Structure 1
Amino acid sequence: MRGQYALPGMKDFDLVVNTQGRAKQRRSALFGAHVGYRFDLPTFRLAPAVEVEGMRLAPRHDANLFNPEASGVAHVGSSPYQALLDDPTSVVTKKYGAGLHRFSTRMRTDVGMVMFNAVFAYRSGGRFEPYAGVGFGVARVEARRAVAYQTNPSGPIEMTPDTHERVNHFNSRDRANDVAVAWQVKGGLRAMLTERVSAFVEYRLIRVAATNFTFGATRYTGHAPTDPWRVKHAAMRVSTGLMGIRYSL
């Protein structure tokens, strides 16, 4: 991330901000539905089935980010008297050095997934039927209401000098989206309620590959303008329990 800054007695320079950290996910709900076809083979206890499934997951992510190495100066103004001044690189390193440039971020992510599943059920001959399956598909991840507050070196939260409002560094566009590969494994137990209706409980492990978002540049009166912010979100892994109703035609 680059933004124009100035130091006393020196020309403007580009400050490179490359922060990283670990996001934490709060509890979230998973909803979905599927349709499929089951192959009931009389001579086999295992009954294979194929499914097409749609799901939606809406977690919230919080993160504390820090700059792991001294920020670089991409462009230093040059002039005949520049040599008489302190090296701006050393000044920037002292002010924005490793671990000093920090941000607190949060965003709401909506994850819509389409999965193609292969499921195998064990026909026990009784009311209860265990099953297991695996699925592969795609996920569209949309990040919205994203905020990034600078907490150091500007203080608890950076404020604009004129209106004294919190500086959200994504203020010109606080939403973005990306598409990623997703897969899941699941296992559960189905209980027959009637000849066609059954209830199920199951456990799932879902993984969505890494995604990349581009949020808007920082645009506030009195604040140094920045380039658009590029955010990489590592792969998401969701461990969850589900319950539902199944109807057989």
Structure 2
Amino acid sequence: MLMRQGLIVVASLMIANVAHAESVPSNAELFRMLKEQQQTISELRAELKQVKQERRDAAASSSAKFDTAADQAGGSASGATIAAAAPAQASSPATYTEGAAAAPQPLGRGAYVSLFGGVGRGGDSSASQLGTAFFVEAQGGPLAVDAKGQTESQRVKFGGAQLGYEWSYRSRLGFDLMPAIEFEGLHLSSADYRGMLENPNVRGYEQTFDDSFSMSTNVFLANAVVGIRTPYRIITPYIGGGIGAALVSVNGATSEQTNPVEPGINHFNAGADSSAWTFAAQAKAGVRVAVGDSAYVFGEYRYLYVGDVDQAFGSTSYPTHVPTSPWTVRFGDTSYNLFNVGVGVGF
């Protein structure tokens, strides 16, 4: 439309120029021609304004349609996202549960066996020597002896073995516990326990015995142990405890009377060896370090308690000594502080 009007104006101007070239128009004709040109220009301006308005309306309409379509598309996408998310959320617990169930759980050692050895010290303990010396009536008759004293603490060496089974348990606090039940045997090597035992106020004088006991102990325990898995998977600290029995043995015991002195007389000469059972218990703590897939090394401290025990020895039997009854030596309970290292394997 604009091009057509432009062509009309151009044609009019050309015609006017041609006419002017042929003949000079009058003032009235010039006025008329100018008025027609002004009218044409006004029509062109009005039509141009209308075209611009139509373009603005078309652009606004297109923008509105685009926004509506975008809103609809966005709403559809959001609905689809929510619809898809809802089943996903609903299935999340199951997925988590399955993942947790599928995750490999750390295992304990299973069945295991280990050997260990170490050193420690046995505490001092009370000791009483009980018996009767059969003096004749002319010498005052039978004499009851109840000499009391204390043995000295001694350093000991020991070794032993364990056989047990360990499994894993996930605690509610989020870390792995590894409980185990084990059977353990250990041997405390011979140590010489000495003590000065006194029997006071015996017919106006005091009897003193210098006793010596070469004592060894075999201990058998049933233990409960709990290991705690650390972020360093090869390192496992543990604690445990157990109860059982101990066989306490004495070899070559001697009892020499130093007051009044009786040189060369061992009051246990008719039977210098003895053994007896008693109660035993322990508590221990240590650290285990894995070596490869199944082997491990460990170090631990243990407190061992051995209950009181009565040892029976032979009588005093010399031609030149008054005869006696068999002797009983009653040892009080003994505590041991022990340190050991060991190696083991799970299978």
TM range (shorter): 0.7 to 0.9
Shift of 1:60: 2.4
For residues 120-168 of structure 1, what are the alpha-carbon distances to aligned partners after superposition, in whole Å with 9 as ceiling and x for unaligned? Answer: 00101312111000101111111111000111112xxx22xxxxxx111
Mapped pair 1:3 → 2:103: no
For 1:11 and 1:35, the matched residues in 2 are separated by: 60
Name the counterpart of 2:300.
202
Deviations 1:40-78 (A, max 9, x none): 2356511100000111112321111111x423xxxxxxx
Tell me what 2:164 maps to. 36
Match of residue 118 from structure 2: none
Which of 174, 186, 191 lines up with 2:272 in the alignment? 174
State the match for 1:146 in structure 2: 253
CA distance change for structure 1 residues 4 and 42 in 2, over 3 Å: closer, same or farther?
closer
* Higher CA-based Rg: 2
- Asked if 1:219 corresponds to 2:317, the answer is yes
**Is 1:215–1:228's contact at 8 Å kept on the other side of the alignment?**
yes
Query: TM-score with structure 2 length normalisation?
Result: 0.59
Judging changes above 3 Å, is the alpha-carbon distance between structure 1 residues 11 and 27 closer, same or farther for their aligned structure 2 residues?
Answer: closer
Matched, 1:101 2:207: yes
Retained in 1: the 8 A contact 2:210–2:255?
yes
Shift of 1:204: 0.3
Amino-acid identity (%):
29
Q: Which runs of no fewer than 5 residues in structure 2 stay unpaired?
A: 1-130
Contact 2:306 2:335 in 1 (8 A): yes
Aligned partners of 1:2 and 1:118: how far apart in 2? 45
Q: Give distance in 1, aligned partners of 2:285 and 2:192.
A: 26
Is 2:170–2:177's contact at 8 Å kept on the other side of the alignment? no
What SS class does the counterpart of residue 142 from structure 2 fall into?
strand
2:192 matched residue in structure 1: 60
| Structure with more strand by fraction | 1
Alpha-carbon distance between aligned partners in 1 of 2:167 and 2:152, rounded to the nearest angstrom: 42
Q: Does 1:245 align with 2:347?
A: no
- Measured after TM superposition, the shift of residue 25 of structure 1 is 2.9
Distance in 1 (alpha carbons) for counterparts of 2:134 and 2:326: 13
**Residue from 170, 183, 188 that aligns with 2:286:** 188
Gaps of 5+ in 1: 72-91, 160-165
**TM-score scaled by length of structure 1:** 0.81
Secondary structure of 2:146's counterpart equals coil
Name the amino acid aligned to 2:183: V
Compared with structure 1, are the counterparts of its residues 11 and 183 closer, same or farther at alpha carbon in structure 2 (3 Å cutoff)? closer
- Counterpart in 2 of 1:27? 155
CA contact (8 A) 2:304 2:335 kept: yes
CA RMSD between the two structures: 1.6
Which residue of the partner structure matches residue 229 of structure 2? 123
Whole-Å separation in 2 of the counterparts to 1:28 and 1:218: 30
Partner SS state of residue 5, structure 1: coil
Supply the distance in 1 between the matched residues of 2:272 and 2:335 (Cα, whole angstroms).
Answer: 24
Kept in 2, the 8 Å contact 1:146–1:170? The answer is yes
Question: Counterparts of 1:25 and 1:175 in 2: how far apart (Å)?
Answer: 21
Judged with a 3 Å threshold, the aligned counterparts in structure 2 of structure 1 residues 168 and 246 are, in CA distance, closer, same or farther, namely: same
Matched residue SS, 1:19: strand
- The number of residues matched between the two structures is 212
